[in-house]
Amino acid sequence: MCVLLLTVLFCVSVTFGLLSANAVGRTGIPREVFRQLDTAMSQAGKYEASYQHSLDSLGHLGAEVYALGDLERAWNIYMETAQRYRSFNTDSALLYSMRAGQVAKLQENVSHAQLSRLIEISSLSTAGLFADARILLDSIATQPMTPEVRIAYWKSARMFYSYQGVYVEGQEYFSRQYRRYCMAYSDSLMFHLPTDDPLRIFLECERKVSEGQYESAGRELKRMVVKLSESDNFYAMFSFQLAEVYRHRHDEQNYVLWLSRAAAGDIKANVREGLALPTLGVVLYEAGYLNEAFTYMNFALEDATRGHARMRTVAIANLMPVIDAAYKEKISTSRDQLIVYLLMVVLLLTVSIGLLWRLWHQKAAARESQRRLAVQACAQNTYMGHFISLCSSYADRFESLVNMVNRKLAAGEAAELQKMIKAGKFIEEKEDNFDNIFDKAFLDIYPDFVTRLNTLLKPGEQLSLRQGELLTTELRIYALIRLGVDESQRIAQILHCSVSTVYSYRNRMRNRAIDRDSFEQTVRDMGRNEDD
């Protein structure tokens, strides 16, 4: 049985080892690091449906307000809709920014027209349409701007050059140039935005990270991620920047942890052009986690495609062939390993089945032996009953003889009685002899009867035998009950005592029992079960 158990456990461990061989956590990155991200990915459809519903409602409201002629409110609603669509669906963002521009034209409001155009520029940048975005950006740069428009201009320009820098990643000359432009606009924003503005705090932390001030940046970033909701786009931005702090500190586990949290934040905020998830995919690919890298990169590509974030789609698509090829190669290798493991499992299961077959036969043989023992025990009970009946018969005959002697004496037939007395013994001797024979025979067959009977009695009420004593009268009564002789009258006949004496002993013993009601039935069943 132990060999079989070990075999089965080995089969299970081999199979489990195969299934978990490629799981994250095998070289130092715990699976728990990705739990929040995996949950967000599984619920992405729910987040998307809720967000789309709110945007549809907002768009319908804008159309209704525009139809009523409230141009100011219509412009505000279209601008909000375009801004919320920008990171979710760039085509829709462009549509609503153009609608806002049309309303601004009707208003003949230059600032509104410029702000509408800047939302359009941000959407074009997200879509990867840099040439068109650059034309519009340059056209606004030459125009007079209010402080509000200028801050919006710096935001759009920063986003434009930031995305261009990411797009040309690997082309060091252009990438360095775009980063320099991006940092210049970031400096302008940091100087003019309120000190408590999340974007300003983010830009300050970003600058500290670029300058190597990791301790100071890390403290501020941690303070912000605690304050922000996970569905706020800034949560993902701060988390991503905190991941950069850990990357520079060469803390791989926390780097991956905060990348995964940033990616989860992007999903919850319905940001489809986020950088966290594809970055995480690249990191895991380089670390050898091909399953997870392929899963996350594929999800990021599908998300960017649905949001028409062409800039992000191109960047991810360039990486996918390499990851896909490595992933397919690993699947092929795993398939070969799987065949080997399956053959091992089949072999072990075959051995297990053989052991089970042998064990089944052994148990069948054991059950047959137990059945035979039960038959023998039953035969012993029968033999004992016959023996007791025989003894009882002799006792009855002896009692009849005594009665006859009395009649002889009463009739004056002393001479004849003397002859009969010389030929036999007194009845008391016969009774003692019967008791001894019964006690010895019963205890030979059931040597532990008294011990087991005592287990049914209350503490302090157990029976004990004196040195050399076999059974007492009350023990003989329950010995007969154990043998199946249950009627008090029959017991009285066998033991040559009155029925009232038997009743008295039985009642006294029941009062001493732990369970008075089932005591005698337990004595009857004693030793007849397999467990006994």
Q: DSSP for 59-115?
A: HHHHHHHHHTT-HHHHHHHHHHHHHHHHTT-HHHHHHHHHHHHHHHHHHT-HHHHHH
Residue 439 lies in a domain: yes
Whole-number Å distance between alpha carbons of 76 and 80: 6
Structure-model confidence comparison of residues 142 and 393, the more confident one = 142
- Note the pLDDT of residue 393: 60
The pLDDT value recorded for residue 385 is 64
What is the pLDDT at residue 423?
59
Overall average pLDDT of the 208-215 stretch:
93
Going by C-alpha positions, the residue among 49, 110, 108, 101 that lies closest to residue 75 is 101
Which range among 106-115, 249-258, 301-310, 331-340 shows the weakest confidence by mean pLDDT? 331-340
Write the DSSP symbol of residue 255: H
Q: Torsion over CA of 286, 292, 295 and 296, rounded to 10 degrees?
A: -70
Model confidence band, residue 317 (pLDDT cutoffs 50, 70, 90): low
Q: Can you say whether residue 375 is alpha, beta or left, with left for phi > 0 and alpha for psi between -120 and 50 degrees?
A: alpha
Q: Out of 163-167, 344-348, 415-419, which region has the weakest mean confidence (pLDDT)?
A: 415-419
- Residue for token digits 């337990």? 522
Residue 132 pLDDT: 92
Query: According to the model, what pLDDT value does residue 531 have?
Result: 43
503 falls within a domain: yes
pLDDT for 118 beyond 50 = yes
CB atoms within 10 A of CB 433: 14
DSSP state of 457: B
pLDDT of residue 262: 93
Q: CA 11, CA 388: separation in Å to the nearest integer?
A: 60
Work out whether the CA dihedral 437, 438, 440, 442 comes out positive or negative: positive
With respect to residue 364, please indicate whether it lies within any of the assigned structural domains.
no
The whole-angstrom separation of Cα 176 and Cα 135 is 21
- Count Cβ atoms below 10 Å from residue 446 Cβ, excluding itself: 20
Tokens of 388: 């007791």
Instruction: Please tell me what DSSP assigns to residue 28.
Output: S
The total number of structural domains in the chain stands at: 1
Confidence check: pLDDT of 516 > 60: yes
More confident residue, 358 or 405: 358
Task: Tell me how far the alpha carbon of residue 352 is from its chain's centroid.
Answer: 28
* Percent helix / strand / coil, the chain, rounded to 5: 80, 0, 20
Based on its alpha-carbon atoms, the radius of gyration of the chain, rounded to whole angstroms, reads 49
Rounded Cα distance between 65 and 73, Å, is 7
Residue 87 falls within a domain, yes or no?
no
In angstroms, the Cα distances linking 217 to 238, 246, 371 are 10, 11, 82
In sequence order, what DSSP letters do the residues of 293-351 get, joined into one string? HHHHHHHHHHHHHHTT-HHHHHHHHHHHHHHHHHHHHHHHHHHHHHHHHHHHHHHHHHH
* pLDDT tens-place string over residues 386-444: 566 656 666 666 777 777 777 777 777 777 767 666 655 444 455 566 677 777 777 77
Residue type (1 letter), 1? M
Task: Give the pLDDT of residue 21.
Answer: 43
Dig out the tokens for 140 from the structure.
Answer: 């606004």
Residue 105 pLDDT? 94
pLDDT at residue 204 in the model: 93
Q: Is residue 431 situated within a structural domain? A: yes
d(CA 296, CA 263): 10
Name which residue leads in pLDDT, 351 or 315: 351
- Write the burial class of residue 195 (CB in 10 Å: 0-12 exposed, 13-18 middle, 19+ buried): exposed
Average pLDDT estimate for 52-59 = 94
Alpha-carbon gap, residue 325 to 303, rounded angstroms: 21
Q: Is residue 369 part of a domain?
A: no
Token pair 């000190």 in the structure block, residue: 195
pLDDT for 479 equals 86
Output the pLDDT for position 267: 93
**pLDDT (average), residues 80-91:** 92
56 inside domain: no
Least confident interval from 77-81, 132-136, 269-273:
269-273
Domain limits for position 432: 425-525
**pTM score above 0.75:** no
Q: Quick one: what percent of the chain has pLDDT higher than 70? A: 80
Evaluate whether residue 483 is within a structural domain: yes
User: Which two three-digit tokens encode residue 228?
Assistant: 């922000």
Q: Which residue's entry shows tokens 């052009």?
A: 273
Structure confidence at residue 361 (pLDDT): 84
Rounded Cα–Cα distance for residues 319 and 275 (Å): 14
446: which residues sit within 8 A by CB, 6+ positions away?
479, 482, 527
How far apart are alpha carbons 159 and 119 in whole angstroms? 11
- Give the pLDDT confidence score for residue 22 in this predicted structure: 43
Q: Residue 88 has which token pair? A: 């979710």
Per-residue pLDDT at 260 exceeds 50 = yes
Confidence grade of residue 20 (pLDDT, cut at 50, 70, 90): very low
- Of 124 and 4, the one with more pLDDT: 124
Of 117-121, 192-196, 440-444, 467-471, give the lowest mean pLDDT range.
467-471
Report the DSSP beta bridge partners of residue 513. 457
Residue 520 and residue 481 in contact, taking contact as beta carbons nearer than 8 Å: yes
Least confident interval from 52-56, 236-240, 309-313, 484-488: 309-313
Res 67: pLDDT: 94
Summary mean pLDDT of the chain: 82
Report the pLDDT value the prediction gives residue 411, as an integer from 0 to 100.
78
Whether 119 and 149 have beta carbons less than 8 Å apart is answered as no
CA distance 106 to 272: 33
**Nearest Cα residue to 528 out of 376, 355, 334:** 376
CA nearest neighbour of 278 among 249, 258, 304, 250: 304
Neighbours of 60 (CB within 10 A): 11
pLDDT confidence of residue 69? 92
- 180: number of CA atoms within 13 Å, CB side? 6
pLDDT for the residue 473 = 85
Share of the chain above pLDDT 90, in %: 36
